[in-house]
Amino acid sequence: MKTFYVTTPIYYANSLPHMGHLYTTVVGDFLRRYKRQRGFETFFLTGTDEHGTNIERASAKAGRTPREHVDYIVGELQKMFGAFGLDTEHGGFDIFMRTTEPFHYEGAQEFWRRAAAGRTPKGRENIYKGFYEGWFCAPCATFKTEAEMLPAVEEGGPPLCPIHERPLDKVSEESYFFRLSDYDEALLEIYEARPDFVRPEARRNEVVSLVRGGLEDVSISRLKSSVSWAIPVPDDPQHTVYIWFDALINYITALGWGSEQRRAQAGEDLFEKFWPGVHLIGKDILRQHAVLWPAMLLAAGVELPRAVVAHGLWLDQTGRKGSKTLGNALELPTLLRHFKVDAVRYFLLREMSFGQDAKVDYEAIIERSNADLANGFGNLVSRTLTMIHKYFGGIVPVDDIPESKRLLAKRAGVGSDAQELSSSLELMRDQFIQSIEEFAFHRALEAAWGMIARVDKFISDAKPWELAKSEEQRETLGAVLYRAAEAVRWLAVLLYPVMPESSNAIRVQLGLAGEALVSDPAELKWGGLRPGEQVGEVAPLFPRIDKVKTMSEIEQKVFLDYAASLVDESKPAEGAHATQAAVPGAPTAAGTQPAQPPQQGATEAQAPPEGVAYISIDDFVKVELRVGQVLTAERVPKSDKLLRFTVDVGEAEPRQILAGIAEHYEPEAMVGRKLVIVANLKPRKLRGFESQGMVLAASVGEEGRPVLATFTEDVPNGARLK
RNA sequence: UGCGGAGUAGCUCAGUGGCAGAGCAGCGGUCUCAUAAACCGCCGGUCGCGGGUUCGAUUCCCGCCUCCGCGACCA
């Protein structure tokens, strides 16, 4: 039997379920259902990536052990998948893979050994010991990434730890390296020989140019003393496997590769049966899947995946990536509350031109759901079946028009056979299938909806309600309704992978409850609907959504959540650190005030929570605020945000001050302007220029747009603000 | 500035070396089987700008501009 194996990435067990998880998993679920229909035996993997520093830290912060933390996240993810019908119980994934599974430890270590024993294409060792260099904070006991450190105080000096504000140490740590650099040519040959290996094409080109630019060896281990929440390196207990190396291997250990335990558990050799698979990923993790992973497999002597398929990301209406902090991401519970799961699935597959980014907001989902599902497909099913009930007592009529009535039918504009309709169905079906095979799901659905419009038009042209008035046209009427209903049957079969539940409901409404729904669309033949059978009861498949009402409910909810989060965040988390001083800039005391319903605009919610930390006047006078006048202003080269000013603060020499406002203020317009300056701020170097002070500005709106503090009356330069 | 992506109808986006497309929204009409639905028609675009290749470019090439994401930088 033909087999098909599809994977989502295993999601990092650090964040709660979000749109990204839902999307990739829906695509995977859709693909596997489609392939199963086509007669493949399928295996669908999703799961979680559970090791590494970030999880250690996040769990410590939450006062849990790493194990408790990942179990919690996994629980939330599984709940979400269940709610969206993506779990095994609903015919979804076959395995929820976790990298903390003992069998994964076994398989990953075996993989390491195989890779270590093998040679690169250039004949060298795949894995060697070297030194990993990084900036280390001793009090934190961790390495800091670029994003996690403050710039050096002096040129050429070490960067600072943002938590301890002390210089970081350049530490080199013994580490194993994977000799990725030896794989460039081998990889390029693969991309060349297998144009479908990385898709879509734009992504393939990206990968090719990346690899052409040369590859560097990658560190694949950490000292156990710095990262202990990880898989031990085989035969070297001082080291643990670095997260990416560990995580990617899951795609084969899940199938029992390298683990007797897992093979026994599965009861069959899944690896033999299903590998190689198709990896669905977001374009943000393309490198790991299209470069590192294939090289790893080559190193360990394992067959490469069938394909790496990268999709785009969901953006908000202004084109920004959806994120929790910006509040522009769609909330999964909100989707569940207001939309049918099938409507969400349809939206996700239809709205995104697969491979590209797409914009999304709740309104877009409502509009699609109403236009395509309620007015389109749902209404077609409803009008067709209603007429069968109304004119034929719910009994499926006969398609054929007897010889004697054909002329009459023709006069009414109805053909003597269903040829025209059935061939356009076949054409659409072929386009549908072909588009899916090309990962152009949006195009497949576009084709299906073109067909829906066609059937709607077919009905409007034939005017069954007119035919019903004439006993002579009884057979013509029957033929029209049969044809419409048969077209609906085809659509239900084709759309099953997209909307399993609704497709099933249609099958029941058509009176085909006993028929297999999961039949191969390629095998669809005209005439599957049997005349004389009783059709089921008609019920709306996709209720029309009241846009105004629903939007206001959603907005209300968003506000309440936000208000609640303010209260929550100011509470001590999980009972830990209750007595510690709060981080500067964060709310300090616990707010006990319950969230109030919105009175005004959402910006009201920006007000600080209850329990402000007071400072004394002595604290305030430490800050030396002075009036300064801009003498010169220019953009700082190679910086989007920085303006460099010279400012007269009433001193002998003007000061040089940098401010991150270049996106909102033109330098030319700044000259001569009077500003409020923090005059006794410790000087700092930014982009090579020393900033001797700081410009005060209000921070407005979600993005914190700066609005400079100004005076409406004339003030002398250097005047102190008190 | 580095990397990646995008600029086509009011909105969301398809698309192709050969007379510019869909859906939604808007306007007008038809109809009543249907979920205030469907059907018909209209409105609407110098396909970011400038060059080049070509008989012909929105489509290929070069340059530029703008926007977005990542990086950096924002204390």
Is the confidence at residue A163, as pLDDT, over 60?
Answer: no
In the set A61, A122, A129, A324, the catalytic residue is A324
Helices (H), A137-229: 184-193, 201-212
Q: What is the pTM of this model?
A: 0.78
Confidence tier at A707 by pLDDT (50, 70, 90): confident
Our answer to whether residue A463 is catalytic in this structure is no
Our answer to whether residue A90 is catalytic in this structure is no
Q: What is the dihedral of CA A581, A584, A585, A588, to 10 degrees?
A: 10
Lowest mean per-residue pLDDT among A188-192, A297-301, A401-405, A699-703 = A699-703
Q: Which nucleotide is nearest to A584 (CA to C1')?
A: B75
Q: Which of A644, A648, A668 is nearest to A657 (CA)?
A: A644
Tokens 């270049």: give the residue: A662
In the set A321, A463, A557, A571, the catalytic residue is A321
**How many residues are present in chain A?**
722
What pLDDT is recorded for position A392?
94
Q: Which nucleotide is nearest to A355 (CA to C1')?
A: B5
Q: Which of A644, A630, A655 is nearest to A689 (CA)?
A: A644
What pLDDT is recorded for position A700?
56
Is the confidence at residue A665, as pLDDT, over 80?
Answer: no
A569 or A514: whose pLDDT is higher?
Answer: A514
Is the confidence at residue A578, as pLDDT, over 50?
Answer: no
Q: Are the C-beta atoms of A144 and A164 separated by less than 8 Å? A: no
In the set A51, A137, A144, A289, the catalytic residue is A137
Q: Are the C-beta atoms of A436 and A350 separated by less than 8 Å? A: no
Please state, for a pLDDT cut of 70, what percent of chain A lies above it. 79
Do strands A655-659 and A674-678 pair parallel, antiparallel, or not at all (unpaired)? unpaired
Cβ neighbours, 10 Å, residue A297: 21
Is the confidence at residue A327, as pLDDT, over 80?
Answer: no
Q: Are the C-beta atoms of A566 and A607 separated by less than 8 Å? A: no
Do strands A278-282 and A307-311 pair parallel, antiparallel, or not at all (unpaired)? parallel
What pLDDT is recorded for position A405?
81
- Dihedral of CA A502/A507/A510/A511: which sign? negative
Is the confidence at residue A196, as pLDDT, over 90?
Answer: no
Residue A675 backbone phi and psi in degrees, to 5: -130, 170
What pLDDT is recorded for position A94?
95
Our answer to whether residue A321 is catalytic in this structure is yes
A358 or A505: whose pLDDT is higher?
Answer: A505
Is the confidence at residue A613, as pLDDT, over 50?
Answer: no
Per-residue b/e over A12-24, b at no fewer than 16 CB within 10 Å? bbbeebbbbbbbb
Residue A49 host element (H or E) = strand A41-49
Give the residue nearest to nucleotide B15 (CA to C1'). Answer: A443
Q: Which of A26, A94, A37, A86 is nearest to A498 (CA)?
A: A26
SS3 A4: strand
What pLDDT is recorded for position A136?
65
CA A511 to chain centre: 38
Tokens 């504009």: give the residue: A413
What pLDDT is recorded for position A77?
92
Lowest mean per-residue pLDDT among A171-175, A278-282, A440-444, A467-471 = A171-175
Q: Render pLDDT for A215-265 as a digit per residue (tens, 0 to 9).
A: 888 888 888 888 889 999 999 999 999 888 899 999 999 999 999 999 998
Give residue A338's identity as a one-letter amino acid code: H
Q: Render pLDDT for A114-130 as a digit per residue (tens, 0 to 9).
A: 999 999 999 999 999 88
Q: Are the C-beta atoms of A468 and A477 separated by less than 8 Å? A: yes
Cβ neighbours, 10 Å, residue A386: 11
List the structure tokens of A194: 């297998």
Tokens 């198709």: give the residue: A278
Our answer to whether residue A289 is catalytic in this structure is no
Lowest mean per-residue pLDDT among A133-137, A423-427, A625-629, A714-718 = A133-137
Strand B bases near protein CB (under 7 Å) are: 1, 3-6, 12-15, 22-25, 31-40, 67-75
Lowest mean per-residue pLDDT among A54-58, A140-144, A413-417, A701-705 = A701-705
Confidence tier at A626 by pLDDT (50, 70, 90): confident
Is the confidence at residue A35, as pLDDT, over 70?
Answer: yes
Average pLDDT over residues A2-23: 89
Q: Are the C-beta atoms of A267 and A255 separated by less than 8 Å? A: no
Residue by residue, what is the 3-state secondary structure of A301-356? CCCCCCEEEEECCEECCCCCECCCCCCCCCCHHHHHHHCCHHHHHHHHHHHCCCCC
In the set A61, A129, A164, A170, the catalytic residue is A164
CA-to-C1' span, A203 to B52 (A): 28
Is the confidence at residue A607, as pLDDT, over 50?
Answer: no
Average pLDDT over residues A17-46: 92
Distance CA A130, CA A509 (A): 67
Between the ranges A163-172, A549-558, A583-592, A684-693, where is the mean pLDDT highest?
A: A549-558
Distance CA A340, CA A368 (A): 12
What pLDDT is recorded for position A320?
60
Is the confidence at residue A567, as pLDDT, over 70?
Answer: no
What pLDDT is recorded for position A231?
93
Q: Which of A373, A389, A384 is nearest to A537 (CA)?
A: A389
Residue A52 — left, alpha, or beta (φ > 0 → left; ψ -120 to 50 → alpha)?
left
- Cβ-Cβ contacts under 8 Å for A1 (sequence gap 6 or more): A39, A40, A41
Query: Burial, A268: exposed, middle or buried (Cβ in 10 Å; 0-12, 13-18, 19+)?
Result: exposed
- Cβ-Cβ contacts under 8 Å for A483 (sequence gap 6 or more): A399, A418, A421, A458
Per-residue b/e over A576-597, b at no fewer than 16 CB within 10 Å? eeeeeeeeeeebbeebeeebee
Tokens 């400072």: give the residue: A615
Is the confidence at residue A587, as pLDDT, over 60?
Answer: no
CA-to-C1' span, A24 to B61 (A): 37
Our answer to whether residue A104 is catalytic in this structure is no
Our answer to whether residue A140 is catalytic in this structure is yes
What pLDDT is recorded for position A628?
85
| A177: Cα within 13 Å, side-chain hemisphere | 19
- Helix, strand and coil content of chain A, in percent to the nearest 5, comes to 45, 15, 40
Is the confidence at residue A713, as pLDDT, over 70?
Answer: yes
Per-residue b/e over A621-636, b at no fewer than 16 CB within 10 Å? eeeebbbbbbeebeeb
CA-to-C1' span, A282 to B6 (A): 18
Cβ neighbours, 10 Å, residue A303: 11
Lowest mean per-residue pLDDT among A155-169, A457-471, A569-583 = A569-583
What pLDDT is recorded for position A473?
86
Please state, for a pLDDT cut of 90, what percent of chain A lies above it. 36
Confidence tier at A103 by pLDDT (50, 70, 90): very high
Distance CA A190, CA A347 (A): 35
Name the average pLDDT for chain A.
80
Is the confidence at residue A507, as pLDDT, over 60?
Answer: yes
Q: Render pLDDT for A687-705 as a digit per residue (tens, 0 to 9).
A: 666 777 788 877 654 445 5
List the structure tokens of A77: 């993810």
